[in-house]
Structure 1
Amino acid sequence: MTKPIIGISGSVIIDDGGIFPGYHRSYVNEDYVDSVVQNGGVPYIIPFTENDEVIKAQLDNVQGLILSGGHDVDPHQYGEEPLQKIGATWPARDHFDMRLLKLAEENGIPVLGICRGAQIINVAHGGTLYQDLSYRKELTLKHMQGHTPNLPTHGMKVKADSKLA
């Protein structure tokens, strides 16, 4: 039985130490790779690029797509001006993820958004976001828990009749 190839949207980090300071490195967090493997898939890292032809070619190789976490989504993407507590944004990454999402949906490729990835799906379909949860006084959920990253942070609900169920 052939295992499904699951694309994981990548990001870029600037190396600030070691023997190559200042180099830009493509990456995904290891927990995405581990989760795909543990669930019977083959992880395929899709490195960030602004080249549309490369983005299309990358998606030709996958049967599923994970839009990974990362920077905050630029509020201009959903018609708002940035507020003071907004985290770092990267509009080019927004475009990359939205392009991946659009092409995946056009080609019937299932998509799972995690953290920022879920926000990208929301914004791409006309939704908005709270720029920072601290602006919402009625919410008590702490987003960044400050513990080991592979431990659960907060729960989620899955609709019984959804594809994810």
Structure 2
Amino acid sequence: MAKPLIGITTSQFLTAGSIMAGTKRQFVSDAYIQAVLCAGGVPVLLPIITEQAAIAEQIAAVDGLLLSGGGDIQPQIFGEEPMHELGTVLPERDTHELELVQQALASGKPILGICRGCQLLNVALGGSINQHLTEPTVQHDQRSAGDYAGHTVILEHGSRLAGLWGDTVMTNSFHHQAIKVAAPGLWITARAKDGVIEAVEHEAAPFAVGVQWHPELMIYKNPAMLELFTAFVNTANRK
């Protein structure tokens, strides 16, 4: 049987300091690609586009959707004005990924959102995010390497994540934003010890999970993190 195709969202930047200066380029961290491969899937990069029909074709061509990390989400999408601490936003990426989520859910295809992807999943379904964490007591923007598990995440009993790891799990952390109000239909299934939301799961979809940390950076030093990707890919394999 053919391995499932996992679509991975991309980000973009403008080339600087060369004869190609000003040229838009799209990219994704290799860690996402390797995690999908290690979990038994075939990674397929989904370039940023905004034509709705073409986005539908992207989803039709893959068996699962991985929403990768990246920059901040436009606060206007969830009804707020930008705070001073808001980072760089990419409106075209937001448009693309919001539509990808709707198309994937409509077709019953599994979704895994990582960091920004977790927040994007929430916003796509009507939730909101904290534009900047002002009073966390846990370090959410660690200085250590990505494979270092810096803080404890408490998992909700009965959740998919608790089924993988039990009551708690140690994770890395690289974010200054987080879910503020969970969207209708999303179950908050993990929090840091300071109360910051660390994961959500869709209550009705076969697999729609968002995690605030970066498990793809941990799979070699902490192989238990690969279990999340394996569960995701296995669900895609059944579609």
Q: What secondary structure sits across from 2:101 in the alignment? A: helix
Alignment partner, residue 193 of structure 2? none
Alignment partner, residue 89 of structure 1? 89
TM-score, scaled relative to structure 1: 0.87
Aligned equivalents of 1:10, 1:111: Cα separation in 2: 15
2:112 counterpart of 1:107: no
- Identify which of 143, 146, 163 aligns with 2:143: 146
- Which one-letter code corresponds to 1:70 in the other structure? G
1:63-142 equivalent positions in 2, closer than 5 A: 63-133=63-133, 135=134, 137=135, 139-142=136-139
Aligned equivalents of 1:153, 1:30: Cα separation in 2: 22
In 2 relative to 1, CA 62–150 (structure 1 residues): closer, same or farther, beyond 3 Å? farther
TM-score, scaled relative to structure 2: 0.62
2:11 counterpart of 1:11: yes
Alignment partner, residue 28 of structure 2? 28
Aligned equivalents of 1:17, 1:155: Cα separation in 2: 42
Aligned equivalents of 2:85, 2:8: Cα separation in 1: 28
Which has the larger share of strand? 2
Q: What secondary structure sits across from 2:12 in the alignment? A: strand
Q: Render the CA deviation track for 1:3-22: whole Å, top value 9, x for unaligned.
A: 11100011112122355222
In 2 relative to 1, CA 160–121 (structure 1 residues): closer, same or farther, beyond 3 Å? same
Identity of aligned residues (%): 38
Q: Render the CA deviation track for 1:63-89: whole Å, top value 9, x for unaligned.
A: 110011111111111111111111112
- Which one-letter code corresponds to 2:8 in the other structure? I
Count residues in correspondence: 162
CA contact (8 A) 1:31 1:150 kept: no
1:34-53 equivalent positions in 2, closer than 5 A: 34-53=34-53
Quote how far apart the aligned CAs of 1:149 are.
Answer: 3.8
CA contact (8 A) 2:48 2:92 kept: no
Structure 2 unaligned spans of 5+:
161-206, 210-230, 232-239
Q: Which runs of 4+ in 1 moved over 4 A?
A: 150-156
